[in-house]
Structure 1
Amino acid sequence: MSTWNYVVTAQKPTSVSHSCVGHFTGPDQLNLIVAKCTRIEIHLLTPQGLQPMLDVPIYGRIATIELFRPDNETQDFLFIVTEKYKYCVLQWDGEKSELLTISMGDVSDVHGCPADNGQIGIIDPDCRLIGLHLYDGLLKVMPFDNTGQLKEAFNIRLEELQVLDIKFLYGCVKPTIVALYQDNRDARHVKTYEVALKDKDFFEGPWSQNNLDKGASLLIPVPAPPGGVIIIGEQTIVYCNANSTFKAIPIKQSIIRAYGRVDPDGSRYLLGDQRGTLHLLVLTQERERVSGLKIEHLGETSVASSISYLDNGVVYVGSRFGDSQLVKLNLQPDATGSFVEVLERYVNLGPIVDFCVVDLDRKGQGQVITCSGAFKDGSVRVVPNGIRINEQASVELQGISGLWSLKSSSSDPYDMYLVVSFISETRFLAMNMEDVLKETEIEGFDAQIQTLFCQNAINDLVIQVTANSVRLVSCISRELVDQWNAPEGSSVNVASASGSQVLLATGGGHLVYLEIRGAKLVEVKHAQLEHEISCVDLNPVGENPQYSSLAAIGFVD
């Protein structure tokens, strides 16, 4: 007998592999886009900080993401490739506030040998083509046409098989790549190639550099002028370009894992190493030529897998090995000598190297205990199993005595109004088309007094109970249609209602029962009880959701 299992994701991915910054949702909106395994998160940079906008699932593990802007466009597009060699180009439609897929396809090759060092996706700075190093010895080229659309892809053979990194150079008349590779003797070199789109082939590039640091693993292209590339190694950082400029500085043995550019002109870069140390690399320039390199220690962060500079010294440090962070780079160091101030942390459970399920509270509810993180960011995490509540927004309002949500009509699937009662007044909030609560007015309600109870009723009516009266208001016109007033010398203390009934206590053990008939409030019964009433409940019991034949009444002891 076969056994079937149903597997569902209980926790969204938290490990950050890539991040990028650009104007994706609008020309005047700066966005941070974060890749987490099979999802992308789109954030908007505001004066109050990062504001989450979208959390989008991608059908595949993300291998690379890049932002680019075709000619005649005012905002950036997003290019994504998955580990299964599927790609897509996404665009944000500001008018409809939705994500559009403008291009998608398969870039796999049947006979290719997958690249040992992982997939690499690069986009020409002048937006002439996209390059993909997916298989050893091949570069897949995806040219753009005159309208910014992708044309049919083709392969160009690379002589170098063990490619460690590959980038496009800035300021070149023809699209030019620089490749960092390792030969059969484990020596590492860089070589440049011009991409001839018409011939679908490579031509020899303007320069090359042999016998680099044996730990060289990362290329950083520098915008023109001066152009060229920075080569990051284990012991040295080298800058070189087509004008035979060669500058190098030594560094401590610290493998750089990620980088982020600070200035548009490419004079400053943030580097993150495997120990979680953040460095600042500065290119000093004279007459548009690089005259030297300088590196400064800034402080400690999580071990970075991606670094994105946002604005005003604020940096997003994405991590696969610990919690991702939003940090501020200060001009002056703190008491420990660090220039880094952590503004916010984003929890990351990965990588999970081991876990177990433990009933910590001995209540039969298991909780997952994980060994999470790596290197200095290793930790033990407790993951509870249950319903998780995410706070969407918060507003400080003092003196709230009651809170009810209302539908705009009985046919609406969702509530639209929020009734907030205070000691001496009642306010009304409504959800607009942008899903934002804004204050409004409901003419039939008494807003100058505390509300004791509020609920939708039959026939598109709303019930408002105050100390002085029970008001029946139309959902459509929002005007008062009927009212029941408390007897002279008494006031309503507590109340409850169903869709067609109202039950209330007026003090001294008096209980009043009302029914809604058509658009009228009709007093059906008045009873005198032996004790003072402290609470009442009229929730429907039975098949009729609008009517209850039973009521629960609590008395003062």
Structure 2
Amino acid sequence: MKLYNLTLQRPGGITHVIHGNFSGPKQQEIIVSRGCVLEVLKPDPSTGKIHTLLTCNAFGTVRTLHPIRLTGSNRDYIVVGSDSGRILILEYNGQKNILEKASNVHQETFGKSGCRRIVPGQYLAIDPKGRAVLIGAIEKQKLVYILNRDSQARLTISSPLEAHKANTITFYTVGVDVGFENPVFACLEVDYEETDNDHTGQAAHDIKQSLTFYELDLGLNHVVRKYSEPLEKFANLLITVPGGTEGPSGVLVCSENYITFKNFGDQPDIRCPIPRRRNEIDDRERTMIIVATATHKTKNMFFFLVQTEQGDIFKITLTHDADMGMVTEIRLKYFDTVPVASAMCVLRTGFLFIASEFGNHYLYQITQLGDADDEPEFSSSERLEEEDTFFFVPRKLKNLILVDEMDSLSPITGCHIADLANEDTPQLYVTCGRGPRSTLRILRHGLEVTEMAVSELPGSPNAVWTVKKRADDPFDAYIVVSFINATLVLSIGETVEEVTDSGFLGTTPTLSCSQLGDDSLLQIYQEGIRHIRADKRVNEWRAPGKKNDYKSSC
């Protein structure tokens, strides 16, 4: 017997966020991972509300998530790295509203299940042109899969190509945008072989992290270590810089207190300090690191949004010589301050989604890109003394507007059960979050009610109904509200508004109403019965003489 527990409510915390055109070429959705649950979200551009399209249990731990688009395609696939010991490529079917395995792709098994340090699944890197996927482990193992199409334009995947290196700890991996040359992947690694053999501990003290590039040779069908360079400071993140005809290529290395641009060839390293808050009360010796990044790219420009561990977002732009293909300057500008994110993404519709590390998740509307305000811009070309940095003053939101919020209890730091409200049913009193954004929340047993819209009524109603226009409609179309001397008909949609062309008689109270047959509506009032057809034709039966209806049943 095998048992598996399923909770009544899905987890609130979000660990990974991706966005892309998953259901169609012009449809942009967000896919989030909540530990063992994959969820498809779609922001409404008109209202700014986030709608959940699909919630799917993965029956395992999702360790990493990434979108991929094959060359020439107009839709994105979802590559999932999990604790299953398999690589899985999913496709979102918008018509069926399901996540299904991409056509003709089997689940490629490469190791044992579980979150093991030598079994790939912890890291995932995608070639920006969609030609290959690198999936790596914390230690030693890295596998590269080549993606292609068959004669029927269905996605196919190759056998794994090994890129293993013993005695190596991996910290991060990304795909480098090199256009249509051989795919290249960049990794942050540490080689601990000398440390294991040194009993004095000096090698461990002097150990350095390296930036290593792996090249997939499509002609010879194997992976080689193309280049490796030691770093001055330990880094925690890599950001892919657009290449080919869209940019200078290369990567941004996010390390302690600095952001550095690196690339092949004659390109010199360009380093810029991470600005700090002026007059902050924290320890000035504390290092500053980048915890979340988002890239926005169009045909004519690109920029990066990076967030520090204090929640401050900076906009990064690169100045490069298109003729020489060389980056000459890194420019940073303070954008806004939002809750610290575990992941964030910028949508083409002008939204910024923040999956908070602690507490609720937020959707912001980007009102301006921070180019016209009076914030100072920091540049790598400005000469500073070693270990000096730039300073800025944080402020309230200026470039962002909060439009929607998703509740999350993660993390719960304390809980107490008591009936303090004297409701005969105990309530759960929980403390959530961290620091100034921590909250005290009261939880009650029962179904959650979400307020979708509020509409003021002209008086006190005595009855209310909801009706469909057609029998096969999935949702109700009208809310019929009866007053003592009138009837009000409201349409149900993104907003609740009064309608006057529904066919209902509005000058008398309604005793009952319902959907009749396939596409007709029925209204019963004191003077008679009103039959409303789909083409708005009305058949009316009047009560004989001075007799009125006072009771009805539909």
Could you say which TM-score interval applies, normalised by the shorter chain?
0.7 to 0.9
Q: How does 1:49-198 map to 2 (within 5 A)?
A: 49-59=48-58, 60-93=60-93, 99-102=99-102, 103=105, 105-110=107-112, 113-115=116-118, 119-134=122-137, 136-146=139-149, 147=153, 149-159=155-165, 161-172=168-179, 173-184=181-192, 185=204, 186-197=207-218
The 1:409/1:177 distance shift into structure 2, 3 A limit, reads: closer
Q: How does 1:176-325 map to 2 (within 5 A)?
A: 176-184=184-192, 185=204, 186-197=207-218, 199-205=220-226, 207-214=227-234, 216-224=235-243, 225-245=247-267, 246-251=269-274, 253-264=287-298, 267-287=302-322, 288-311=325-348, 314-325=351-362
1:360 maps to which of 420, 425, 431: 420
1:379 maps to which of 408, 420, 439: 439
- The one-letter code sitting in structure 1 at the alignment partner of 2:65 is I
Residue 156 of structure 1 deviates from its aligned partner by 0.7
The 1:50/1:471 distance shift into structure 2, 3 A limit, reads: closer
Structure with max Cα Rg: 1
Match of 1:40 in 2: 39
Q: How does 1:20-39 map to 2 (within 5 A)?
A: 20-37=18-35, 38-39=37-38
Residue 15 of structure 1 deviates from its aligned partner by 1.2
Q: Does 1:484 align with 2:543?
A: yes
Match of 2:466 in 1: 405
Residue 306 of structure 1 deviates from its aligned partner by 0.9
Structure 2 contact 337–394 (Cα < 8 Å) conserved? no
Give deviations 1:169-219, integer Å, cap 9, x for gaps.
1125101111111232431110112113565532232x43213313x1111
The 1:483/1:153 distance shift into structure 2, 3 A limit, reads: farther
The 1:413/1:336 distance shift into structure 2, 3 A limit, reads: closer
The 1:407/1:294 distance shift into structure 2, 3 A limit, reads: closer
Structure 2 unaligned runs (5+)? Answer: 193-203, 277-286, 376-392
The 1:392/1:441 distance shift into structure 2, 3 A limit, reads: same
Residue 129 of structure 1 deviates from its aligned partner by 1.4
Whole-angstrom distance in 2 between the partners of 1:298 and 1:117: 36
Structure 2 contact 489–498 (Cα < 8 Å) conserved? no
Whole-angstrom distance in 1 between the partners of 2:294 and 2:250: 17
The 1:471/1:11 distance shift into structure 2, 3 A limit, reads: same
Whole-angstrom distance in 2 between the partners of 1:51 and 1:89: 25
- The one-letter code sitting in structure 1 at the alignment partner of 2:107 is G
* 2:409 aligned counterpart, secondary structure: coil
Residue 50 of structure 1 deviates from its aligned partner by 4.2
Structure 1 contact 305–318 (Cα < 8 Å) conserved? yes
* 2:177 aligned counterpart, secondary structure: coil
Whole-angstrom distance in 1 between the partners of 2:545 and 2:311: 69
Flag the structure with more relative contact order, 1 or 2, with Cα contacts below 8 A and sequence separation at least 6.
Answer: 2
* 2:248 aligned counterpart, secondary structure: coil
Residue 162 of structure 1 deviates from its aligned partner by 0.3
Structure 1 contact 321–375 (Cα < 8 Å) conserved? no
Residue 313 of structure 1 deviates from its aligned partner by 5.5
The 1:106/1:366 distance shift into structure 2, 3 A limit, reads: farther
Residue 272 of structure 1 deviates from its aligned partner by 1.3
Structure 1 contact 167–219 (Cα < 8 Å) conserved? yes
The 1:131/1:301 distance shift into structure 2, 3 A limit, reads: same
Deviates more, 1:292-301 or 1:411-420: 411-420
Whole-angstrom distance in 2 between the partners of 1:373 and 1:457: 48
2:10 maps to which of 2, 12, 32: 12
- The one-letter code sitting in structure 1 at the alignment partner of 2:543 is W
Write 1 or 2 for the structure with the bigger share of strand: 1
* 1:49 aligned counterpart, secondary structure: coil
* 2:507 aligned counterpart, secondary structure: coil
- The one-letter code sitting in structure 1 at the alignment partner of 2:63 is A
TM-score of the aligned structures, taking structure 2 as reference length: 0.75
Whole-angstrom distance in 1 between the partners of 2:221 and 2:412: 44
Q: How does 1:540-555 map to 2 (within 5 A)?
A: none
- The one-letter code sitting in structure 2 at the alignment partner of 1:157 is A
Whole-angstrom distance in 2 between the partners of 1:358 and 1:485: 62
Whole-angstrom distance in 1 between the partners of 2:528 and 2:427: 48
The 1:357/1:118 distance shift into structure 2, 3 A limit, reads: farther
Structure 1 contact 178–192 (Cα < 8 Å) conserved? yes
The 1:72/1:135 distance shift into structure 2, 3 A limit, reads: same
Residue 289 of structure 1 deviates from its aligned partner by 1.9
- The one-letter code sitting in structure 2 at the alignment partner of 1:372 is C
- The one-letter code sitting in structure 1 at the alignment partner of 2:211 is V
- The one-letter code sitting in structure 1 at the alignment partner of 2:529 is R
- The one-letter code sitting in structure 2 at the alignment partner of 1:303 is V
CA RMSD of aligned residues (A): 4.0
Whole-angstrom distance in 1 between the partners of 2:336 and 2:490: 49
2:551 maps to which of 484, 496, 514: 496
- The one-letter code sitting in structure 1 at the alignment partner of 2:109 is V
Whole-angstrom distance in 2 between the partners of 1:359 and 1:6: 32
Residue 165 of structure 1 deviates from its aligned partner by 0.7
The 1:241/1:95 distance shift into structure 2, 3 A limit, reads: same
Deviates more, 1:394-403 or 1:294-303: 394-403
Structure 2 contact 432–439 (Cα < 8 Å) conserved? yes
1:450 maps to which of 490, 503, 508: 508
Deviates more, 1:85-94 or 1:276-285: 85-94
Deviates more, 1:311-320 or 1:452-461: 452-461
- The one-letter code sitting in structure 2 at the alignment partner of 1:387 is L
* 1:363 aligned counterpart, secondary structure: coil
Match of 1:419 in 2: 480
The 1:26/1:458 distance shift into structure 2, 3 A limit, reads: closer
Residue 228 of structure 1 deviates from its aligned partner by 0.7
The 1:142/1:450 distance shift into structure 2, 3 A limit, reads: farther
